[in-house]
Amino acid sequence: MHDMSAHAVPHGAPTSFIRKHVFSLDHKVIGKQYYALALLAALIGMALSWIMRIHLGWGSFAIPGLHLLSSTGAPGNVLTPEYYLQLMTMHGTIMVFFVLTTAPFAAFGNFFLPIQTGAEDMPFPHFNMMSFWVTFVGFWVLIASFFVADGPTLGGWTQYAPLSAIGSVGGPGQGLGVVLWATSIAIFCVGQLFGSLNFITTTLDMRCKGMSLMRLPLTAWGWFITSVMGLTAFAVLMPACILLILDHVAGTSFFVASNLVINDQVLPHSGGSTLLWQHLFWFFGHPEVYIAIVPGMGIVSHVLITNMRKPMLSHRVLIYSMAALAVLSYMVYGHHMFVSGMNPISSLVFSFPTLVITIPSTIVVLMWLGSLYGSKLRINSASLFALGFVSMFISGGVSGFFLAQPSIDIMLHATYFVVGHFHLVMGVAAMFGIFAGTYFWFPKMTGRMMNETLGKAHFILSFIGAYCIFMPFHYLGIAGNVRRYQAFTDDYLIPLIPVHKFITVAALVTGFAQLIFVYNLIHSRFKGAIASDNPWQGTSLEWSTATPPPHNNFGDKMPVVYHDPYQYSVEGASADFIMQTSPEKINSPNEEK
Amino acid sequence: MAKIFAVVIILIAIASAVPIVMHWWPMPQDISVHGTLIDEQYADTMLEAGISFLASQFLLAFFIWKFSAPKPGERVKNFPGGAAGLVAAAFLLVGTEVLALGVFGTKAWASVYLTPPAANAMPVQVQAGQFAFYFRYPGPDGKFGPLHADQISEANANFFGLDTTHDQDSKDDIVAAELAIPVNREIHLLMHSKDVGHSFYVPELRIQQDFVPGLDVTVHFTATKIGKYEIVCTQLCGLGHYNMKAYLEVKSQEDYDAWIKQQAALQ
Amino acid sequence: MATTVHEPPKHDLERLPSQGSGNGGWRNLVPADGDLPRVKDHAPPPASTGIWVGLAAITMTFAAFTSALVVRQGAAPDWQHITLPSILYFNTLLIIASSVTLEISRRRVAAFMGGIKDRAANPARWLYITLALGVLFVAGQTFAWVQLKSQGFGLATNVSYSFFYVLTVAHALHLLGGLGGLVRVIAKLHNSVLRRSTLDATSRYWHFMGVLWVYLLFLLWMKL
């Protein structure tokens, strides 16, 4: 009747190959699996963006082998308009869900959250394993839509109803393609809910002796706040996807209005609400932006602190700002719908919290800049990407001033300005966060160092390249260039074609720079220099265990925490960093009492 | 590397600002009455956003340059004023800035959406469908006939589904594929979607509004410059989305009168 | 002292929460008095936190369904009134009764584990009754669906029926998860490896399913 083996982590070190590497219960293996999935997804997403960019620069250019992907979508290797939209939809969906959510949150969070809290594993390892494998299935369901009769959906990653809900009369991919899309996303939601459940419980319940909440590193805080957002947001997107699927396969009318006519035929639906989908989607969609970026904020702060050799000006202010972003993110989602036809008063109501959200964002940036002052900054690949993140976050953030205002949004809505804005702030910035995390933690994850020269080359090319791609997007948008167009036939868009050609060249070059990273990753995994336990002289718990960490993270001795996470350059201390596990008594102004 | 990086940041920041300052790819010219408010709001925002952008990028570059090569034995320093000063600055500077933008921006928004159209505004109905716009004028009786979805027929050019044999009001309705309007006359645009979501966007007119299937929404505007402008669809509506467009023709009153007479004869 | 994951922590005093982490993870760890069966629970309580987190997610999901229902009802005049199948009220009694029986069982186990009683007075019997009531509830719901369907009211008949099916089926699926949890608890009880936190978490989930059902019934009764 009693659990004799009562313990938080009911699994020992695995012995079989399958338990070790495939259906592993170990959060570290699951983290690496998520990372691998994100890497694969990112490469597919990037390839799709190349195809789109080539098409936008040189519309009739034949891309060798493209017909193998779809003979109808690319006859003679040249993209058709519908196939352009299908690839665009897949690019957005893959990147947002399977890269920007999985890599910074699920991959790094899984690997490092239990270690940084001083736990042996997550509390529900089976849920954790399911989280990955469910997400994995979701990914392949989405990819499968490339290979069904009329290809993937062309409805855009926001999948606005009723286009997404009326079935194949809406266009190629709107039949089975949408069903696969919605199924994939619903599955993905389940996976992330399992993940969030583990993350929240780990943070609250699995902390080691002496690890109070405020002693958690900023990364752990980033993941914790993100998991609370994820729990709420994905729990709303999932029912929305279910209703969408029912409209499709069961003929219900949640989102499809009465008397819609396609090909002179009245559709057999009645009374559905177009705006209902948008409300449900953006209630998830805006927090999703912060789900992508808040883990990056945590990673960047963590990497910067270690490389500045001093803590943030205020640990608490950064945590409170991230929490404020999370709370506000639910109150601003309507800014995606200023011109959607919802009540114009609502637009004004949504506009103010949207403007207010710039305050915590600004505080975070000022904390980074202010902490940089008077530091002893080390330049390496990780810190460069972290600083690059700061620069990108600023650039992507200021364009938010425009889009937060309904009056200016009348002009800029659905133009390339928006595309530039979200690519900088949640695409490139989040990617830079992932890169910073990779260069920083690769030694701990694999036991080997990455090549610094290649890392720096990768950085400088990506930094310049990303600006060359995404800054001109803003100019296009200001000139009125509408997004989701596969060609620029309108008279007023013709003068903008040279800008598109420039962007295409920049995108190709920047894309190739990412191959340097992939090479570095694979090469260093097998041939990199052996890493020590604490190569960056860090203080948090991941640096006090072996490299790579043993199965139960800390070996024989569970850690006991004596200090706040970032005790660098403490006056009178024995070294320039005091690890959290060091019992040394210090007198630091940054130490919480 | 740090110094190279700092210089790169500065150069990128300056290069990013050049096309804006030089107006290389400017906003399309404004031909509407309310557009001035939007343009002023945009210019104010650009000034504030531009200053914030340049100042923070320069500061970032300067700090990277200055603090990346510490002398041996040098101590770390804290920012004067610490976190409290910066938080206060964020609240005061950015807080007032965004509050001001929000409050003043309300005026521009209200001019489009929160003021009712004038009583003598000219009603025109626009219908969006995959992948074309059609426009309907009420004709001499000033009344639009009802729509019958089941009578829509592309082949018979009955795009709206009008029943001209039974509905008295429909008999004199005029349907056109372009939106011709008289200059300096307020237009009350009644927006109807035939199938899926679309949007009505005329950059010069400073108007963008989505069509909501199942729910007719309206906008109103006054065009002040005679000319031909493109109406584009900005809501992804299917494979022909990129090619869904029509023309807005702003005409003098005489030209408009002649045009509507000619259209009436064609029905 | 060597403590690895697959061994129970042998009342390791060093791992008790120290000052500064009063809410740390080991709060539930009680030093043993040498009488192992009387020890309340060795495990830290992630199951009890976890269940609340899970219930929060389920609450969000049903809140989303609810707001969809309210918005959709106001969006068009095509909403039809439904007369709810009367078996639903009988099912409601079943699920309330199942909460009561589960609570009896839980208290008996708690009293035993807390050392108040020497023997648990057959908690398994009450668990079996709970399980049976739960299965009956699902059967009753299925009867309601079949009945409506046979009267010609399908999922797509009207959006009010769509919501009826979506909400009741979504609830039933979540309830099946609870039944799985009960089966797991019974199995663990028989193998004498049941943890109190597992039982507590399962019963919280089950009670929540009851509350959720009463809420849904009220919503359907009021709106449909």
Q: How far off is chain C from A395, nearest CA to CA, in Å? A: 34
Q: What percent of chain A has pLDDT over 70?
A: 98
Nearest CB partner across the interface for B76, out of A263, A374, A407: A374
Q: Which residues of C touch A10 (CB under 8 A)?
A: 5-6
Residue C19 has pLDDT above 80, yes or no: no
Cβ–Cβ below 8 Å for B56 and A482: no
Q: Which residues of B touch C75 (CB under 8 A)?
A: 214-215
Chains linked to B by 3 or more Cβ pairs within 8 Å: A, C
Nearest CB partner across the interface for C64, out of A1, A2, A236: A236
**What are B211's strand-pairing partners?**
B198
Residue C187 has pLDDT above 80, yes or no: yes
Lowest mean pLDDT among A18-22, A120-124, A150-154, A176-180: A18-22
Hey, what domains does chain B have and what are their CATH numbers? 2-68+81-114 (no CATH), 122-266 (2.60.40.420)
**C75 vs C39, residue with greater confidence:** C75
Instruction: State which H helix or E strand residue B181 sits in.
Output: strand B179-182
**A530 vs C31, residue with greater confidence:** A530
Non-local CB neighbours of A347 within 8 Å, separated by 6+ positions: A334, A335, A337, A338, A406, B109, B113
Domain ranges of chain C: 46-223
3-state SS, residue B254: helix
Burial A433-472 (b: 16+ CB within 10 A, else e): bbbbbbbbbbbbbbbbbbbbebbbbbbbbbbbbbbbbbbb
pLDDT at C218: 95
Question: Hey, which residues 24-83 in chain A have their CB within 8 Å of chain B?
Answer: 80-82
Tokens linked to A179: 């069903």
User: Would you call the peptide bond into A589 cis, given omega within 30 degrees of 0 as the criterion?
Assistant: no
A365 touches chain B (CB under 8 A): yes
Task: Give the chain C residue whose CA is nearest to the CA of B215.
Answer: C75
Q: Which residues of C touch B214 (CB under 8 A)?
A: 75-76
Task: Give the chain B residue whose CA is nearest to the CA of A495.
Answer: B25
User: Which of B37, B42, B56 to mutate to test binding with chain A, by most A CBs within 10 Å of its CB?
Assistant: B56
Question: Hey, which residues 200-239 in chain B have their CB within 8 Å of chain C?
Answer: 214-215
**What are B141's strand-pairing partners?**
none
Matching residue, tokens 């990412």:
A514
Q: How far off is chain A from C135, nearest CA to CA, in Å? A: 25
Q: Which residues of B touch A456 (CB under 8 A)?
A: 1
Q: What percent of chain C has pLDDT over 90?
A: 56
Q: What is the pLDDT of residues A355-369, one digit of tens each?
A: 999 999 999 999 999
Cβ–Cβ below 8 Å for C24 and A212: yes
User: Which of C6, C52, C119 to mutate to test binding with chain A, by most A CBs within 10 Å of its CB?
Assistant: C6
User: Which of B22, B25, B33, B97 to mutate to test binding with chain A, by most A CBs within 10 Å of its CB?
Assistant: B25
CA distance A211 to A565: 9
Q: What is the pLDDT of residues A327-383, one digit of tens each?
A: 999 999 999 999 999 999 999 999 999 999 999 999 999 999 999 999 999 999 999
Backbone angles phi, psi at B181, to 5 degrees: -135, 150
Residue C31 has pLDDT above 50, yes or no: no
Mean pLDDT within C8-36: 32
The ipTM of this complex is 0.96
Residue C6 has pLDDT above 60, yes or no: no
Cβ–Cβ below 8 Å for A81 and B239: yes
Task: Give the chain A residue whose CA is nearest to the CA of B83.
Answer: A313
Residue A466 has pLDDT above 90, yes or no: yes
Residue A546 has pLDDT above 70, yes or no: yes
Q: Which residues of C touch B215 (CB under 8 A)?
A: 75
**What are B192's strand-pairing partners?**
B127
CATH superfamily of C46-223: Cytochrome c oxidase, subunit III, four-helix bundle (1.20.120.80)
Q: Which residues of A touch B161 (CB under 8 A)?
A: 261
pLDDT at C120: 57
A482 touches chain B (CB under 8 A): yes
pLDDT at C117: 65
Mean pLDDT within B33-38: 94
pLDDT at A490: 85
Mean pLDDT within B181-191: 97
The pLDDT confidence band at residue C38, using thresholds 50, 70 and 90, is very low
Q: How far off is chain C from B204, nearest CA to CA, in Å? A: 33
**For all residues of chain A together, what is the average pLDDT?**
93
Q: How far off is chain A from B102, nearest CA to CA, in Å? A: 7
Residue C14 has pLDDT above 70, yes or no: no
pLDDT at C7: 34
CA dihedral (A247, A248, A249, A252) in degrees, to 10, reads: 20
Q: What percent of chain A has pLDDT over 90?
A: 87
Non-local CB neighbours of B172 within 8 Å, separated by 6+ positions: B138, B139, B140, B141, B264
Mean pLDDT within A559-564: 91
Cβ–Cβ below 8 Å for A478 and B4: no
Residue A278 has pLDDT above 80, yes or no: yes
pLDDT at B74: 86
The pLDDT confidence band at residue C119, using thresholds 50, 70 and 90, is low
User: Which of A408, A490, A510 to mutate to test binding with chain B, by most B CBs within 10 Å of its CB?
Assistant: A408
User: Which of A11, A124, A231, A252 to mutate to test binding with chain C, by most C CBs within 10 Å of its CB?
Assistant: A252
Q: What is the pLDDT of residues B73-91, one digit of tens each?
A: 888 999 998 899 999 999 9
Q: How many CB pairs under 8 A join A and B?
A: 324
Q: What is the pLDDT of residues A220-265, one digit of tens each?
A: 999 999 999 999 999 999 999 999 999 999 999 999 999 999 999 9
A532 C-beta neighbours (distance < 10 Å), count: 13
Tokens linked to A449: 């160092």
Non-local CB neighbours of C163 within 8 Å, separated by 6+ positions: C65, C68, C69, C72, C220, C223, C224
A151 touches chain B (CB under 8 A): no
